[in-house]
Structure 1
Amino acid sequence: MGGLPKKIYQINSLSSSDRSNRLLLDSGNLLFKKNSIDRRQNQEILTAETILDIYTDIGYDAVAIGPLDLAAGIDFVQKSYSHGFPWISSNITGPDGKPLFTQWITRTLGDIKVVITAVTAHPQKEYKNINIQPWQESLTKTLVTIKEKKENAFIILLSSLNNSENEQIAKRFPDINLLIGADPHRGNISPQLIGNTLLTQTAKQGKYQGLLEIIFGKQRIWGHDTTRQLADLQNKLGSVNWQLRRLKKQSKKNGNENKYTDTILRLEKEKEELNREIDTSKKLLTQEKKTGVKNDQYNYRFIGLKKNMPNDQPTAEKLILLNREIRELNKKNKQLENTSGNLSTLTQNMVGHSVCETCHETQAEFWKATRHASAYSTLNKKDKSLNLDCLPCHLTINPRKLDSQISPDPGYLSYPSALRSVGCESCHGPGREHSIAPETFTLSRNPEKALCLACHTPEHDDTFNYAPKLSSIACPSE
């Protein structure tokens, strides 16, 4: 969520002059990070509702339903859909086979009809009251209908399928002009042409904003920007000519007559080829100016949402309000729910850094000067000490209970003060048995890279480098 105010700021900055030629699209897995969540009011539901509110305010044109968007059940998605949120999916149906959501929408950019459709990947959890139709069937039917009703339309597919399936779709359905993916296992994918389909995607979790500028031609076939291509070729020719002049000058010096012969010959051939390409581009540009016939063209960039970039203030204020709501909700849950059973499981065989300090005083003093020692206090300063999304990475967690995704647990709300920091046992493992019989029960010396990456994700620490970071926090030797 931290990158959302920066994302919205970028969207507003890029399209403030003319929003009529803008499309805001998202390929799904927008709301949740897990495959299944409790449907009762909790911070995951509150967060999802805030995301829906922000996306509605900014004016998204279409959002595909991804499998993670179904984590709270189909009713949650349908409720926002009934209130006007632009969910689309061509392959989610009810038990009767009828579509539950809009299968495709049309937008007009200039004099071009743009049609947006979507396919939803199968969720890991099965739902009794919905069916996810195979994309092979749903896309075939949907594209036939689109082609019948919207001749010469520019067709965009939003897909939460994996990249391999997206490539299959691009090869099988050449009528799709642009395919925007949401494969969680892939990061940014620069636009690549497969047949006549341009395939791309932006990395998940709001670290980047993808910008694709399309210059529509009169034919729905991807081509090149001839003017830019000509300029690039002329720049390359200028560079080759400069190298040739320099090498020929060098070769005239005594002893250098044959030193650069092969390189000069290679550059002369390259110069001839560039001149041919420039001549072809000039002829094509002249023809385009006469006939006005152009293919579709594109420019793109991925905008990294760095910490020092500006925030959209209204969005930032909504996140502040969300944090307050989460705090009050979890404060109430902490008072109402008995988490002792859960807590004992989370903290099993953990003793806290003060016990470690009785034998390892030098190491403890070193640790106290690291940011790990003050990890929990930073949450207090930011008023997030009751945020279950934040807590696991600011407490002493048994590393044996971690995987690549740290799951929020209500037990963290009642964590003992001795474990409110990223303490010794976060890296070395539970210390109770070791504190009783240190010779018999030894601990791990260094944490595995995967353990560090569970918290030091690109979303929260985009400069993390395992080896130097480990060296900087490694305790002194005995």
Structure 2
Amino acid sequence: MGGLSKKAFQIKRIGDREKLPFIFLDGGALLFKQNTFHSNAHQQQADIMTATGIARAMELMDCKAVGIAPQDLAGGVDRLKEIQDQQKLNWVSVNLVEPTNKKPVFTPLIRTKAGSTRIAILGLTDDQGHPGVTREKYTIVSWKDSLPGYVKQAQEGADMIILLSSYPEPVNREIAQTIDGIHLILQSGRAASNMAPLKIRNTLLTRVAARGKYLGMMRIHWTKTGFWGQDLTKKIRKEQNKLDRINWQIGRIEKKKPASELKNNSLYTTLLTDRKHTINAIQALQKKKDAGASDPCSFTSQFIGLKSSMPDDTEVQGVIDQTTRKVNAFNKKRKRATTALPHTSLDKLAGTQKCEECHPVQVAFWKQTSHSSAWKTLEQGNQQFNDECLVCHVTLPYYDLDRAREEQLLVQLPKEFRDVGCESCHGPAAAHIKAPESNHPLLPQEKVCLQCHTDEHDDNFVYTEKRGKIACPKG
């Protein structure tokens, strides 16, 4: 959730700076990380609290519409309807329908304006290769059966049509190739990388990377042609800049050379020819621009990385903090009430105190690193009951959050496994302690670190640099 407050700050900053009409949209995959709900009822409750907080933050950010991805349906259609009603968010999908009458469960089409441009927004939910399969209270039908009719409906009274799609890129390419009238497809962030706008016929397809680490922004110059092309004003300016450079070079040569030598100067004659061509190009472009009707629609785009050092929007950050405290209090109450015993997976661990018996020099060094105070940082932020944070601030036999939750490793974790201990990097050591000669600890590889030092949680992590700071001394 942390990136939302930074995203909100950037949106406000850009709006204040550019003084242009804008709309904020999200392609979907917003509420839950997985397509299916966690089997544990308590974890379901905690996830719903988080999802509600996310939706509230998006409402504060004045999000005009959100596409519905399979991840958003993890809690079921009724849950998503509740969140929509509570937070007044517009969830859109043309192909998420009721099983019996095939009517859309949510709004299929939203109309809005950006300045004088009339915009229609459609949503499309990925059927994951199984169109028409009836799930609990809904069916996701094929885009081929549902989308064309709504595009035709959207064209009435709209200058521009935007599609929020959670389908993968190959399907979105096919949509752009086969359906006329869609001007922009915003693909929900299922991929790890951003994708700059790609023009397919008269449709732009773009994507912002998953996990909310970037804010995608497009500046669109919309004209009555409704066709994407190059901004003539910018192209004229570019040619004018070129002409200025040519004139500057010609002027320098004319100052240095006598007039009698200029005729035989090859660079000078080339520049004169270039100047003539550039002037002709400017005049031709200006003529097109003056005609008006031939001026195509144009755009620029950028992806803004949401670094941890960026400022936060205070109102949205307040929602995030409140949600986090609520989830943490719920988890605290649940864990104190549980009678579950630690899972046998923990038997593979020995604990840093046992390591110290044979490796006092290394453990003494470890105590000076931030790994040794990982639990303390959680307590200072009152996050020691937040599974999302907890999993990477303790010593576990593995760092798969879903599996750790399933085996309830985080519910009754013994105190000796608090902090990021030796076995977080070198692997479980109980077998090594029993038979040191035949069971050797692992040498840490980059992939071990990247289980927790992800872009989402540590955008300054460089393995070669960090390894030098925490590598155990010899001896």
Q: Same fold (TM over 0.5)?
A: yes
Give the CA deviation at 1:272.
5.6
Q: Find the aligned partners of 2:160 and 2:196 in 1 and give their Cα distance.
A: 20
1:202 matched to 2:202? The reply is no
Which residue in the other structure is 1:65 paired with?
A: 68
Letter in 2 for 1:366: F
Structure 2 residue matching 1:307: 3-state secondary structure: coil
Point out the more displaced range, 286-295 or 166-175: 286-295
Q: Find the aligned partners of 1:278 and 1:391 in 2 and give their Cα distance.
A: 66
Cα deviations across residues 415-452 of structure 1 (Å, max 9, x unaligned)?
111111111111111111101110011121123x3322
Cα deviations across residues 354-398 of structure 1 (Å, max 9, x unaligned)?
101111111111211221111111111111111111011111121
Cα deviations across residues 259-282 of structure 1 (Å, max 9, x unaligned)?
xx9xx98x9979967863663343
Which residue in the other structure is 1:444 paired with?
A: 442
Gaps of at least 5 residues in structure 2 are: 257-264
Structure 1 residue matching 2:392: 3-state secondary structure: helix
Q: Compared with structure 1, are the counterparts of its residues 208 and 247 closer, same or farther at alpha carbon in structure 2 (3 Å cutoff)?
A: farther
Give the CA deviation at 1:407.
6.1
Which residue in the other structure is 1:93 paired with?
A: 97
Q: Find the aligned partners of 1:58 and 1:464 in 2 and give their Cα distance.
A: 30
Gaps of at least 5 residues in structure 1 are: 251-260
Point out the more displaced range, 432-441 or 294-303: 294-303
Q: 1:158 aligns with which of 145, 151, 164?
A: 164
Which residue in the other structure is 1:175 paired with?
A: 181
Q: Find the aligned partners of 1:182 and 1:271 in 2 and give their Cα distance.
A: 51
Q: Find the aligned partners of 2:461 and 2:194 in 1 and give their Cα distance.
A: 19
Q: Compared with structure 1, are the counterparts of its residues 162 and 231 closer, same or farther at alpha carbon in structure 2 (3 Å cutoff)?
A: same
Letter in 1 for 2:425: C
Which residue in the other structure is 2:424 paired with?
A: 426
Q: Find the aligned partners of 1:146 and 1:362 in 2 and give their Cα distance.
A: 70
Question: Does structure 2 conserve the Cα–Cα contact (< 8 Å) formed by 1:375 and 1:394?
Answer: yes
Structure 1 residue matching 2:387: 3-state secondary structure: coil
Q: Find the aligned partners of 2:253 and 2:415 in 1 and give their Cα distance.
A: 72
Q: Find the aligned partners of 2:192 and 2:271 in 1 and give their Cα distance.
A: 37
Cα deviations across residues 305-341 of structure 1 (Å, max 9, x unaligned)?
222222111111222212221221011101222331x
Point out the more displaced range, 223-232 or 327-336: 223-232
Give the CA deviation at 1:114.
0.7
1:113 matched to 2:114? The reply is no
Give the CA deviation at 1:303.
1.9
Point out the more displaced range, 15-24 or 407-416: 15-24
Question: Does structure 2 conserve the Cα–Cα contact (< 8 Å) formed by 1:35 and 1:124?
Answer: no
Q: Find the aligned partners of 1:423 and 1:286 in 2 and give their Cα distance.
A: 71
Q: Compared with structure 1, are the counterparts of its residues 292 and 414 closer, same or farther at alpha carbon in structure 2 (3 Å cutoff)?
A: same
After superposition, where does 1:160-309 map in structure 2 within 5 Å?
160-236=166-242, 276=277, 279-291=280-292, 293-309=294-310
Which residue in the other structure is 2:326 paired with?
A: 325
Give the CA deviation at 1:247.
11
Q: Find the aligned partners of 2:153 and 2:241 in 1 and give their Cα distance.
A: 46
Give the CA deviation at 1:131.
1.2
Q: Find the aligned partners of 2:283 and 2:403 in 1 and give their Cα distance.
A: 58
1:144 matched to 2:152? The reply is yes
Q: Find the aligned partners of 1:413 and 1:274 in 2 and give their Cα distance.
A: 75
Percent identical residues: 34
Q: Compared with structure 1, are the counterparts of its residues 141 and 347 closer, same or farther at alpha carbon in structure 2 (3 Å cutoff)?
A: same
Normalising by structure 2, we get a TM-score of: 0.87
Which residue in the other structure is 1:103 paired with?
A: 108
Q: Find the aligned partners of 2:269 and 2:199 in 1 and give their Cα distance.
A: 32
Letter in 2 for 1:309: M
Cα deviations across residues 149-170 of structure 1 (Å, max 9, x unaligned)?
33x6311011111122222221
Q: Compared with structure 1, are the counterparts of its residues 20 and 464 closer, same or farther at alpha carbon in structure 2 (3 Å cutoff)?
A: closer
Question: Does structure 1 conserve the Cα–Cα contact (< 8 Å) formed by 2:29 and 2:189?
Answer: no
Point out the more displaced range, 302-311 or 91-100: 302-311
Which residue in the other structure is 1:362 paired with?
A: 361
Give the CA deviation at 1:216.
1.3
Question: Does structure 1 conserve the Cα–Cα contact (< 8 Å) formed by 2:236 and 2:285?
Answer: no
Q: Find the aligned partners of 1:77 and 1:273 in 2 and give their Cα distance.
A: 62
Q: Compared with structure 1, are the counterparts of its residues 285 and 58 closer, same or farther at alpha carbon in structure 2 (3 Å cutoff)?
A: same
Q: Compared with structure 1, are the counterparts of its residues 336 and 291 closer, same or farther at alpha carbon in structure 2 (3 Å cutoff)?
A: same
Q: Find the aligned partners of 1:193 and 1:328 in 2 and give their Cα distance.
A: 48
Q: Find the aligned partners of 2:215 and 2:404 in 1 and give their Cα distance.
A: 26
Q: Count the aligned residue pairs.
A: 459
Q: Find the aligned partners of 2:463 and 2:250 in 1 and give their Cα distance.
A: 46
Which residue in the other structure is 2:262 paired with?
A: none
Q: Find the aligned partners of 1:50 and 1:292 in 2 and give their Cα distance.
A: 47
Which residue in the other structure is 1:455 paired with?
A: 452
Give the CA deviation at 1:290.
4.7
Q: Compared with structure 1, are the counterparts of its residues 427 and 240 closer, same or farther at alpha carbon in structure 2 (3 Å cutoff)?
A: farther
Question: Does structure 1 conserve the Cα–Cα contact (< 8 Å) formed by 2:98 and 2:138?
Answer: yes
Give the CA deviation at 1:76.
0.8
Letter in 2 for 1:210: G
CA RMSD, 1 decimal? 3.1
1:36 matched to 2:46? The reply is no
After superposition, where does 1:349-388 map in structure 2 within 5 Å?
349-388=348-387
Q: Find the aligned partners of 2:272 and 2:66 in 1 and give their Cα distance.
A: 48
Letter in 2 for 1:62: A
Question: Does structure 1 conserve the Cα–Cα contact (< 8 Å) formed by 2:225 and 2:296?
Answer: yes
